[in-house]
Structure 1
Amino acid sequence: MDFTAMPYETCSTWNFRELRFALTVIFTIEEINKDPTLLPGTTLGYRLYNGCGSENLIRAAIEALNGKREHCSGQIIGLLGHSSSGVSQYINYILSPLSVPHLSHLSTCACLSNKKIYPTFFRTVPSDFFQVTGLLQLMKYFDWRWVGIIYSPELYAYEGTENFIKLSKQYGICVEYYQEYSKTSKPTLVVEALKTSSSKVVILFMGFSYTYSFFSVFEGYNITDKQFIGSESWISQTKLASRERRSMLQGAMGFAIPDVKVPGLREYLLRLNPLKEPQSEIVKTVWGHIFGCAFTPSNTSTMCTGSEDLLTTPNQYTAFTDLRTESNVYNAVYSFAHALHSLLQCKNRLNPTTGNACVSKTEVRPKDVLEHLHYVNFTTNNDARVFFDENGDPASHYDLVNWQIHRNDSAEIVTIGLYRTSSLEGENLQILDSKITWGGGNNKVVRSVCREPCPLGTRKAINKNRPVCCFDCFECPEGTISNQTDSPNCLTCPPEFWPNESKDKCLSKPTEYLSYKEIMGTLLTIFSCIGVFLSLLVLIIFFTHKETPIVKANNSELSFLLLLSLKLCFLCSLTFIGRPSEWSCKLRHTAFGITFVLCLSCVLGKTMLVVLAFRATLPSNNMMKKFGPLQQRLSVVIFTSVQVVICILWLSTNPPFPKENMKYYKEKIILECDVGSAVGFWAVLGYIGCLALLCFILAFLARKLPDTFNEAKLITFSMLIFCAVWITFIPAYVSSPGKFTVAVEIFAILASSFGLLICIFAPKCYIILFKPEKNSKKQMRVKLKSRS
């Protein structure tokens, strides 16, 4: 619009809402003029302009600028209006250069808060910026993170939609689509967006007339599965509630201007009557429009009498359930009155509010009133507190309302919560969930998300090609968990913990060790006990037959000591079973090392005795005399003492200790005995190996001696088994995992012990028990003679 010509537009319909605004101005001014404490000695006047047609709006602005005042002897102190943000924007362009205060009751565009562009603009309705933040908090409250927006081609709707989209990212909310709806163009794109979109929540950012048109057009498209969220311009307007639209409006929700009751205003508005204002052509025209009559003779209408009853005839003028916006008009008029009152309260030639020089009633200028509007702070007769911030905006208060259609098709707009920006953080939005009726045919809160939150045990990954709300969910890697929904990262469990199956909790890792209760541990224990039993049985047999030649011929003293040491070898294997502890770790390896050396010392003593006994039959050889019973005992003690010294050094420097092995298995802990000093461990095994090798060599050399000394063959075979077992043990021990390492070691102990027991003593027991005739001196001489 270039303002080079005075446009004209003929009014085709009446906006009864705007008529109520005009009557509210008159009601408020009359109330102020009756108040002896506010503006004493001063009377407020007014001029009302028809909002139909741009020329009337521009005319009001121009009159404020040039001072033209028809039928008015007072000063113009400011301008009240308009309802539309776009119209208020243009009016303020005209008023600002001359500092004329401009106060609106319904222009909500956040852009009007910019004091650099609109320095004289004030309003008694909250800025849409606060409505947008309220809507975003509402989305977050119900977890609506995937929404669509339909807006009208108005400054109010453009700015509101833009601010919503701009701030939505801060709240984690995504806009699936934003589509403009126009009264003149085909709604194809809007229909497609509503029917194909996955978002269930639709925000209608529109002025009232566009919303009325929207529901009228779409009532035939059977769109009933959406939860509509309305802006304050239409959400509390019951005029929308036709029978056809009610299925779409059911459950609609949005923020409305607080329903503040103005005492006497409802009654005043319902007293509208042309008989009380016979000079008003507007009232007569409205009356005729409501009742379909005329005050002048007409062929198409009946004559109006003025006695018609507004309350008994359904009409759009009285079709209001509340006077939310009218209360803002009421506050706006009072704001001008209090600013003027503050300006005229002068003492000692200086104004107490601003400190400027006093002015008289005839000297009042619009810019003086503008200056005092910044300091307005009062409470109205209905207990509403009115003040303006640095941007000319009031305190931001909203009621959260909900459309509820009852069975008798009556529509009720129920207040279900409130939004107050002045409240503490986190308490701005208060909602009574139990009072809500939901849209889309739902009996519970609507779900509107692009992707359901990532469950526990998964992590959230942003997809760069899609909106942030349309993320991907990936299962946490092995060894990690996520214990909250939409977790951006997976947490690594501490070393001694491992995730459960759902990967939402770290559990203590199960411990593994060779237990007596499991099958393998039980079997090894049984075999160990069998070995002890057999050793004891052989000992008993040998002891009961100790005077027989076969026992005497094979050195009964070393045999008894060998059987005792074998029994200890079987018993020491039991120390390897069970939960490792500090004492068991030290005991198992040292006991194993010492008992086996004791065992091999006895075998070595018997082998040496065989070799020396054969050598003693040769001429001039007295070795047997030098290797008597005392020397045999000393050899056993010396050989065993070496191992004892090695074990003492090992235990005193770096002994074995219990250890939790978490490296071999990720999901469990192996309880094992760390050998401590590897040198000590392999020294013990190495010494055992040296003795075993020495025994094998000596026994092998003496294997072909006469049958009387036949034990050399048995020792050779037993040492062959012993060496084979322990040579195989080394790689098996190194490569076996967890408790199997211990099982391999026990198996080696038992196998080598059984080898010695069976190979050395089984043939002798067989002769003693089943072939006693061979166990005699005579039989042994015969065998010796045949050999010789």
Structure 2
Amino acid sequence: MDINFSEDGYYMDGDIIIGGFVQLYGVKLNKSFSNVISFKYSEYYPLNNYNFLAFVFAVEEINNSSKLLPNITLGLHIKESLRYTRKIIESAFKILAGQSTIVNFKCKSSHTVAAIIEGFTDEETYGFYNMFQIYHYPQVSYISQNLYMSDPVQYPYFYRTVPNELHLGAGIGKLLNYFGWKWVSIFSTDDESSMRAIQILKEGIERNGGCIALHQTLPHQRKLIKLEFQKIHSAIKQSSTVNIYYFNKNNEFPLIDILDLQRNVKRGQVFITIADVEIITNQKYFEISNTFFIFRPHKKLMPNFLKFIREMKPVWLACDYWAKRWWKDLCRSSCPKMIRRDCNSTVETHVFSRCFSTYFGCSYNVYNAVYAIAHALHDMIMSGSGNGTRWTRENREVLYSLPWKKPPQFRCNPSCHPGYRKLIKEGEPVCCFDCIPCAEGEISNKTDMDTCTTCPDDQWSNKKRDACIPKVITFLSFEEPLGVALTSISVFFFFITTVILGIFIYYRDTPIVRANNQHISYILLISLILCFLCSLLFIGHPEDVTCILRHTTFGITFSIALSSILAKTITVVTAFQATKPGSKLHKWMGSRVSNSIVISCSLIQTFLCFAWLFTAPPFAYFNMRSEIGTILIECNEGSVIAIYCVLGYLGFLACISFIIAFLARNLPDSFNEAKYITFSMLVFCSVWISFIPSYLSSKGKYMVAVEIFAILASSTGLLGCIFFPKCYIILLRPERNNKKDLRKL
């Protein structure tokens, strides 16, 4: 690998260039008497060498791979990030334009720059983005956790390989809640993003019942000085037990500072920091207690990275005294084996050599940033190849038409993407238009469509309005919770009614069963059993057969039940009149009359149902317009007049029974059931009267559910009002099941 060092940065040629910024030096600004601003180096950051080496290592690893970008060579152009705005902008233009810059020309490099990888502070990242977003170059940060730049719509060209500060605040808040720590001191930097993150953290702490004992801000543009640490020590001694250090983001916290803090504060203090702790391997004694918590972005060792550091030729160090000194430190015998170089020369001893640190800066985040760009390029080139499996000369032409390059716009406004249609602006030329989204049920699958296409009846538009998808088919099924609940209720009352029928058959010779025509009671109970079962026909996938059986079974079984109740009511009145002296109604007291009433009234309903089936029977119907994006499978009644006749006839029977039972409710006859029949008819009529508005205001499967509920409620009302009192006497008060006591009821 040939890497060249010059005043223009670190450059390696390739088909595609990745620009980058790594900070190795801090600078101080000076202002002369002539108001000319200059700068000089103030300190050296040796750990950032690892960031640079990770950049180079990732590019070399990708170039040696035959899978990711075969036949394409990545190059790099890395500049020093001096945290001086003018120099950053100047360096960025040099990266984008080429090694030596003449305005609008690339003098030494004609290759495409794919993206800029940077390690700026939050404020610098934000400023850099605002400056260079007009060029549409992707900007990938391996340090910035700026909370304000998390919106991909507002910042479409910004990416990062570290989480934003919202995750830091959430993690710290969960830790405090877990241990129940409520009394907290916070020390943070005064940059805008950190202040916003701390505000969110404070709100979370106070919302969970905690209190902020102290919040002290510190300068964010430099490292802390001794006086500021003394202020922290003093504040900690006088404040809370839990101390949050919200500074040195994505950087190391020197161990000497941690030890100094622990020596100067009382025992039992808890420390939470967002910075790595620099552990020196040759330190004879140090102690980090289990009350020290570190929040840092996920990092892991890169394969072969340390071997790359040990074996790399230091061409890039040619003109850098401090970098060469760091390079020599890697030869020391006390240096960890994982990064120790095999050297023959002897090296002088330094007190705190960076060789001993286990902290490798943000190298893993840099490594990820390079690979993220490589994978993006891979996807772009493969998507442009057509078949997506071969690399050809045509594929490589994609490199010269990358989406972030400033092509001239020869139109009044941008194209309308699929999912939108053109709307010509009033009073302007035809080429000037607005893009408006297609309406629901319509799509456009091409660019700049004048109109949207309506989807077929059995399909609907997707969310992007660029394709038609099948509508969702819905009906009241046995598997869904509503269907399970209604089925369970139906089966439950089916068994209850069956048990009551068994009780009446078993106790058929007792007075309370024999009273008022026991055969009619059997018919009524059997019809109620069928009513509960017929509700199951309304659940499940509607078919033509089930639609026919639904309404005819419902109409006939309910007519039998109501006819039985009518027969019981007439029997009560007849029995009372027959007891009067000289009455000739004795001959109407037999079971023949009651059976005739049941049969004749039921046959009328049966005739209506058959007339309905022969004229316009019910059928399964696919309703595609009732609900948006949904096909409702439901039963169409066929003839509205027929269904009204069936329901009207049931209402007629119920009203006649109610009127007769109401008039006979106070008859003194010993076997008077009129009172219970009155209540049952009242329940029945109330249910079906309230059913009408509920049914008309419902849609789809909920309309069917309302109908099932009305069947179950009215059947349960008849069962409960007429038979529960009798079962109570038969099972729980058998001593009252005699003629004498029944006359007192």
Q: TM-score, normalised by structure 1?
A: 0.44
Q: TM-score, normalised by structure 2?
A: 0.46
Computing the radius of gyration from Cα coordinates, the structure with the larger value is 1
